[in-house]
């Protein structure tokens, strides 16, 4: 039987991440709520919520943590060739709710269903407060891909991405990394291992190192408020070039 601590009424209080379970990897606590103060405190401590409809809120801090060094994101050779003729457009913070709902749609691998209505409401609220952001990929007027996450200081915590066309989620992730790197965000949290993300340069970081990194980055001055238009200048061809 798994015994987990229940979160207290203090929205900033979480168990030490070293007490997280090894199996399932990173399960730390349950309960609490999805209020903005609690969510921001969780991310700043290397913790995130992940649960399915009908479950209590579960809080996780896996070890190791998958991260991407934004300035060193990898563009595979075949994708690089394809990007040179891509005419999609990239936008930031123009369709946050639509990106979240697209990420919540059922997928062929069974993913997406963990984004409950409560999660949608909580992260949309964080977006309105200037903490959560999205990057969208369009083909003409059609939204075909995107990614969203949380920014605290100079750290970006990726949450989920989606693709309605081949390569659309890759373009979203590459564009986000490119934009973040140029704005002084050196690291993107990718949470858990994914073979797909590893092809783009994601790597495993020991949880203790991850916590040290985010403690430093979250304390720095970030980019407050809405990010609408922040990375709209990017084109797919730009993602083939080295990040300045």
Domains detected in the chain: 17-60 (3.30.70.3550), 65-240 (3.40.630.70)
**pLDDT of res. 53:** 87
pLDDT tens for 38-94 read 999 999 999 999 998 889 999 999 999 999 999 999 999 999 999 999 999 999 999
- The answer to whether residue 17 scores a pLDDT higher than 90 is yes
Query: What residues does 138 pair with on adjacent strands?
Result: 89, 143
- The answer to whether residue 1 scores a pLDDT higher than 70 is no
- What is the pTM for the complete model shown? 0.95
The candidate with the shortest Cα–Cα distance to 42, out of 71, 17, 22, is: 17
Calpha distance 128→6 (Å, rounded): 29
pLDDT tens for 95-105 read 999 999 999 98
Calpha distance 90→168 (Å, rounded): 10
Q: Quick one: which H or E segment has residue 136?
A: strand 132-139
Helix crossing, 36-44 with 207-218: angle to 10°? 120
Which residues have C-beta within 8 Å of that of residue 20, sequence separation ≥ 6?
26, 27, 28, 60, 61, 62, 63
- The answer to whether residue 108 scores a pLDDT higher than 80 is no
> Cα torsion at 33, 36, 37, 40 (round to 10°)?
110
Calpha distance 209→67 (Å, rounded): 11
pLDDT tens for 166-223 read 999 999 999 999 999 999 999 999 998 888 889 999 999 999 999 999 999 999 999 9
Percent composition of the chain: helix, strand, coil (DSSP 3-state, to 5): 30, 25, 45
Percent of the chain topping pLDDT 70: 97
């Amino acid at each position: 039987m798994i015994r987990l601590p229940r979160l207290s009424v203090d929205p900033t209080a979480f168990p030490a991440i070293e007490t997280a379970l090894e199996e399932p990897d990173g399960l730390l606590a349950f309960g609490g709520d999805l209020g903005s103060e609690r969510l921001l405190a969780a991310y700043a401590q290397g913790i995130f919520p992940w649960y399915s409809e009908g479950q209590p809120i579960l809080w996780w801090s896996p070890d190791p943590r998958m991260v991407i060094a934004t300035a060193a994101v990898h563009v595979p050779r075949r994708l690089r060739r394809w990007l040179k003729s891509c005419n999609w457009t990239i936008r930031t913070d123009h369709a946050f709710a639509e990106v979240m709902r697209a990420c919540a749609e059922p997928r062929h691998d069974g993913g997406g269903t963990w984004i409950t209505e409560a999660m949608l409401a909580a992260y949309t609220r964080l977006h309105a407060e200037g903490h959560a952001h999205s990057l969208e990929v369009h083909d003409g007027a059609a939204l075909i891909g995107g990614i969203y996450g949380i920014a605290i200081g100079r750290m970006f915590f990726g949450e989920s991405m989606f693709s309605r066309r081949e390569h659309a989620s890759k373009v979203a992730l590459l564009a986000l990394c490119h934009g973040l790197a140029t704005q002084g965000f050196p690291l993107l949290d990718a949470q858990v291992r994914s073979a797909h993300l590893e092809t783009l340069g994601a790597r495993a970081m020991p949880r203790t190192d991850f916590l040290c990194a985010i403690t430093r980055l979250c304390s720095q001055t970030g980019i407050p408020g809405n990010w609408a238009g922040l990375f709209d200048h990017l084109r797919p061809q730009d993602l083939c070039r080295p990040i300045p």
